[in-house]
Amino acid sequence: MRRWVFQLVVTVSFVSLLGLLGFIAAGNLARQGIATGYGFLFGEARFEISESIIAYSAANSYGRALVVGFLNTLKVSLLAIVLATFIGTAVGIARLSSNKLLAGVAGTYVEALRNIPLLLQLSFWYGLLTVTLPVPRAALNPVTGVFLSNRGVVLPMLEPHAAFGHAAIALVLGMAAVSLLNRFAKRRQEKTGRRPTIAPAVLLLLVGPALASWYFSGAPTALDMPRLQGFNFIGGMRLSPEFAALLFGLTAYSATFIAETVRGGILAVSKGQSEAGRSLGLRPGLIMRLIILPQALRMIIPPMTSQYLNMTKNSSLGVAIAYPDLVAIGNITMNQTGQAIEVVSIFMVVYLTISLAISGFMNWYNHRMALVTR
Amino acid sequence: MKVFLATLLVTTALCSAAEAGETLDRIKARGSLVCGVSEGIAGFSAPDSTGKWAGMDVDFCHALSAAVLGDADKVTFKALTAQNRFTALQSGEVDVLSRVTTYTLTRDTALGLDFGAILFYDGQGFMVPAKLNITSAKELDGATVCMQTGTTNELNVADFFRSIGKPFSPLAIEDVNELNNAFFSSGRCDVYTGDTSGLAAWRSSLAKSKEDYVILPELISKEPLAAAVRHGDQQFGDIVRWVGFALIEAEEKGISQANADEMKTSADPTVQALLGVSPGNGKALGLDEAWALNVVKAVGNYGEIFERNVGAKTPLGLQRGTNALWNKGGLIYAPPAR
């Protein structure tokens, strides 16, 4: 009872303190003549953004500009999370290898990159990319249509066509079929002890329908070829050096932490487990995949969650190398409108939402992977 | 950076609004003037080889300190980024912002600021490597344009390219060193845009030879630079405005650092009023009657400040141009000090 009263008092006083601060702040802002409110989001932004997933021009609103920044943040964070997970896991396992050379290389990589501040690494990679690559007029052209310069990599892209939409739908359907097939195979294995070979069927289900629907929708192959016009390339698809440097730096840096997490998780699995597997005659690869990793995963997931959260937040360092993420766009907005408190509040809400979404997903996954005792 | 910004925000919101006379009292009680300057823009505010701040904006801080405290050296300089300068002023971190800041409507109103006398007529321009052989900004089709984020540059460039109907690719960089690298060393961008005074400043300090880069003739914006104070303290706003005008008036009347004391015997009533020989102006501003005399003795008149920091004999090598006195073909003009 006393505990509840105490908690109630603390909560009420905290909330009223926040309310009081908000009240004073609002009063003072009004008295200083500083505009407040979120109305500015609908005003014309009047600035350009170097790269965007959705269509954007200076005539769009501040709100849309911030969405562009948000999508750029998501793009680089999600890609970095996926890449760093694969690289980190591979390096973590490599560090435990009995091959001295492999373990040594992996160890050097982890120790070197983990101990240099990320901001420094980003500046380094960005500088290296932009200084070493030639200017657009002298761009490297290894294959027809592919240009490599310090404006980034420009690739030919397929001209948009309805057939690609059909193929994407077919691919999703194929994936659903694969998951059904997988469940069937698992049930068969539990019943008979033998796992049916499904790999060829999986390949067929994934590629077949997608390819077929593309073919029957007209089989478009028209390419949008990039070409040099004026100062820059137009057409095709562009990968900017800012994005490349941020993705590379973020991945390389975070993979070291993931590698250590994976290594710790594997070491935490009792040695008897792998010895038992070996005495059953299993190959080392199978022991790792079927015995060690599933058990290590339970140890790995919780620290991995915080690595993912860190990567999302670290992506905001891209502002230093001109990557137009949420923070970069927000800073421009803040400067043009002067609505600092509002923009910072948007930052907080967005990062909080991304973080809660990631940790919610990881908690669900962790729960699924938790040890089930029979 | 973020922690700093957040602290500033909270302090802005919680400190009470500026009230008349408050800033002046605070400066006198503290015994020094806190002046917000840039992190280092040659000619305007940058530390010299001995670590002392120098430049036009810095000289204005000294002038203000001479007027208010009677001593030009009682100034504490705070280096601010383009990004955090307004929050620092709003929150009372600095008394006055003397940092190549453009006088605009939004800043005057929604940001809760007041501006002093315009002490430099600047404009946004483009700088390109000379080897590109470009003579007009209209030829910059599809060019990658570098600029500092947190300024009005982004907006002006987008407006300019929209008006000529050509595409361009912006590269807005926050850190000024990264920005300079992107243009001067790596060639990541074709064009550097910013206030022409600033472009000349970077060219003077970073280019191997001044002739390697040209500033194109088009000016795409008006950038009148002025010192800013918090809105609400009209008295301090008046002081900042009139210290600026006094510098201009001194040049017009031929009062210089060297002859200021002699000029007190001048028969010209305007000079007498300005230098406090005939009293009244000081009392009206809430300052010592010798305020303007102290200012000129400390830093010289407007022309001297210009020539010393950015003029033809300095590395920046700027001509007076629009910044000449009104009676010499420029725009620099002060209302009468009477």
In a domain, B333, yes or no: no
In a domain, B80, yes or no: yes
Residues B63 and B167 in one domain: no
How close A220 gets to chain B, by Cα (Å)? 29
Asked if the model's pLDDT at residue A153 lies above 90, the reply is no
Asked if the model's pLDDT at residue B1 lies above 50, the reply is no
Residues B206 and B322 in one domain: no
- Contact status of B280 with chain A (Cβ, < 8 Å): no
CA-angle at A192, arms to A191 and A195, nearest 5°:
105
Cα dist. A148→A139, A183, A239, A323, B184 in Å?
Answer: 5, 45, 10, 19, 20
Structure tokens at A169: 């739908």
Task: Average the pLDDT over each of A133-147, B65-79, B106-120, B308-322 and give the range with the smallest value.
Answer: A133-147
Cα dist. A108→A100, A303, B11, B110 in Å?
Answer: 12, 22, 46, 54
Q: Is the dihedral of CA B53, B59, B60, B66 positive or negative?
A: positive
Query: pLDDT value at position B125?
Result: 92
Cα dist. A200→A179, A204, A208, A285, B45 in Å?
Answer: 14, 6, 11, 21, 70
- Contact status of B105 with chain A (Cβ, < 8 Å): no
Contact A338 B13 (CB under 8 A): no
Residues B65 and B183 in one domain: no
To the nearest 10°, report the CA torsion of A239, A242, A245, A249.
-120
Of A32, A35, A232, the CB nearest to B169: A232
How close A363 gets to chain B, by Cα (Å)? 29
Segment A47-76 shows an average pLDDT of 92
Residues B161 and B257 in one domain: no
How close B137 gets to chain A, by Cα (Å)? 12
In a domain, B38, yes or no: yes
3-class secondary-structure state, position A219 = coil
How close A26 gets to chain B, by Cα (Å)? 7
Domain boundaries, chain A: 42-137+241-369
CA-angle at A142, arms to A138 and A146, nearest 5°:
80
> φ, ψ for residue A165 (rounded to 5)?
-65, -45
User: Pick the residue with more confidence: A251 or A236?
Assistant: A251
| Chain B residues near residue A29 by CB distance under 8 angstroms | 12-13
Q: Is B256 exposed, middle or buried (CB count within 10 Å of its CB: 0-12, 13-18, 19+)? A: middle
Structure tokens at B213: 């880069």
- Contact status of B159 with chain A (Cβ, < 8 Å): yes
Query: pLDDT value at position A371?
Result: 67
Segment A109-118 shows an average pLDDT of 93
To the nearest 10°, report the CA torsion of B105, B108, B110, B112.
180
Q: For B162, name the nearest residue in chain A, comparing CA atoms only.
A: A58
- Contact status of B164 with chain A (Cβ, < 8 Å): no
Residues B113 and B8 in one domain: yes
Distance CA A72, CA A102 (A): 36
Residues B282 and B229 in one domain: yes
pLDDT band of A211, cuts 50, 70, 90: confident
Segment A329-336 shows an average pLDDT of 88
pLDDT in tens, A258-309: 999 999 999 998 889 889 988 988 888 888 888 888 888 888 888 999 899 9
Residues B116 and B248 in one domain: yes
3-class secondary-structure state, position A157 = strand
The answer as to CATH 3.40.228.10 being correct for domain A42-137+241-369 is no
CA B254 to chain centre: 23
Cα dist. A62→A5, B93, B150, B338 in Å?
Answer: 46, 29, 15, 47
Segment A100-112 shows an average pLDDT of 94
Query: pLDDT value at position B218?
Result: 86
Of A47, A123, A322, the CB nearest to B158: A47
Contact B14 A25 (CB under 8 A): yes
Mean pLDDT of chain B: 89
Task: Average the pLDDT over each of A200-214, A265-279, A319-333, B270-284 and give the range with the smallest value.
Answer: A200-214
Q: Give the pTM.
A: 0.76
How close B72 gets to chain A, by Cα (Å)? 30
- Contact status of B42 with chain A (Cβ, < 8 Å): no
- Contact status of B22 with chain A (Cβ, < 8 Å): no
Contact A29 B154 (CB under 8 A): no
Residues B31 and B180 in one domain: no
How close B262 gets to chain A, by Cα (Å)? 44
Q: For A228, name the nearest residue in chain B, comparing CA atoms only.
A: B142
In a domain, B336, yes or no: no
Contact B172 A324 (CB under 8 A): yes
In a domain, B141, yes or no: yes
Q: Out of A151-165, A283-297, B56-70, B74-88, give the one with best mean pLDDT.
A: B56-70
Kindly state the percentage of chain A with pLDDT values over 70: 99
Count other C-beta atoms under 10 Å from residue B237's C-beta.
Answer: 23
Three-state SS string over B273-309 comes to: HHHCCCCCHHHHHCCCCCHHHHHHHHHCCHHHHHHHH
pLDDT band of A249, cuts 50, 70, 90: very high
Residues B7 and B114 in one domain: yes
How close B177 gets to chain A, by Cα (Å)? 10
In a domain, B252, yes or no: yes
In a domain, B22, yes or no: yes
Q: Where are the alpha helices (DSSP H) in A96-153?
A: 100-114, 118-132
pLDDT in tens, A5-23: 989 999 999 999 989 988 8
Segment A35-63 shows an average pLDDT of 88
**B102 strand-pairing partners:** B225
Pairing between β-strand B46-47 and β-strand B53-54 as defined by DSSP bridges:
antiparallel
| Chain A residues near residue B143 by CB distance under 8 angstroms | 230-232
Residues B15 and B75 in one domain: yes
Please say whether the beta carbons of A71 and A54 come within 8 A: yes
Task: Average the pLDDT over each of A214-228, A320-334, A340-354 and give the range with the smallest value.
Answer: A214-228
**B269 strand-pairing partners:** none
Please say whether the beta carbons of B56 and B48 come within 8 A: no
Give Cβ neighbours of residue B282 (< 8 Å, ≥ 6 apart). B276, B288, B289, B290, B291
Query: pLDDT value at position B2?
Result: 47
Segment A227-254 shows an average pLDDT of 87
Point out the domain boundary residue: B221, B245, B273.
B221
Domain that holds residue B109: 2-122+224-328
pLDDT band of B192, cuts 50, 70, 90: very high
The CATH number of whichever domain residue B228 belongs to comes to 3.40.190.10
| Chain B residues near residue A331 by CB distance under 8 angstroms | 83, 149-150, 174
Q: For B84, name the nearest residue in chain A, comparing CA atoms only.
A: A335
Segment B188-215 shows an average pLDDT of 88
Q: For A129, name the nearest residue in chain B, comparing CA atoms only.
A: B186
**B114 strand-pairing partners:** B229
In a domain, B131, yes or no: yes
pLDDT in tens, B96-106: 999 999 999 98
Point out the domain boundary residue: B186, B221, B256.
B221
Mean pLDDT of chain A: 87
Choose the mutation target among B186, B189, B191 for the interface with A, i.e. most A CBs under 10 Å: B186
Looking at the 3D structure of chain B, how many domains does it have? 2
Query: pLDDT value at position B20?
Result: 67
Query: pLDDT value at position B53?
Result: 95
How large is the C-alpha radius of gyration of chain B? 20
Pairing between β-strand B191-195 and β-strand B144-148 as defined by DSSP bridges:
parallel
Residues B18 and B118 in one domain: yes
Q: Identify which of A339, A320, A343 has the alpha carbon closest to the alpha carbon of residue A330.
A: A343
Residues B86 and B232 in one domain: yes
pLDDT in tens, B30-53: 999 999 999 888 899 999 889 899
CA A108 to chain centre: 25
> φ, ψ for residue A251 (rounded to 5)?
-65, -50
pLDDT in tens, B16-27: 456 667 899 999
Q: Is the dihedral of CA A173, A178, A179, A181 positive or negative?
A: positive
Taking CB atoms and an 8 Å cut-off, how many pairs form between chains A and B? 152
Q: Identify which of A326, A330, A233, A158 has the alpha carbon closest to the alpha carbon of residue B167.
A: A233
Structure tokens at A305: 């969650």
Choose the mutation target among B8, B188, B220 for the interface with A, i.e. most A CBs under 10 Å: B188
In order, the DSSP letters of B121-190 are EE-EEEEEEGGG----GGG-TT-EEEEESSSSHHHHHHHHHHHHT---EEEEESSHHHHHIIIIIS---S
Contact A336 B175 (CB under 8 A): no
pLDDT in tens, B113-172: 999 999 999 999 999 999 888 889 999 988 999 998 877 788 899 999 999 998 898 998
How close A150 gets to chain B, by Cα (Å)? 6
Distance CA A78, CA A100 (A): 33
Of B5, B17, B166, the CB nearest to A31: B17
| Chain B residues near residue A21 by CB distance under 8 angstroms | 13-14
Of A59, A338, A341, the CB nearest to B9: A341
Distance CA A300, CA A93 (A): 13
| Chain A residues near residue B5 by CB distance under 8 angstroms | 340, 344
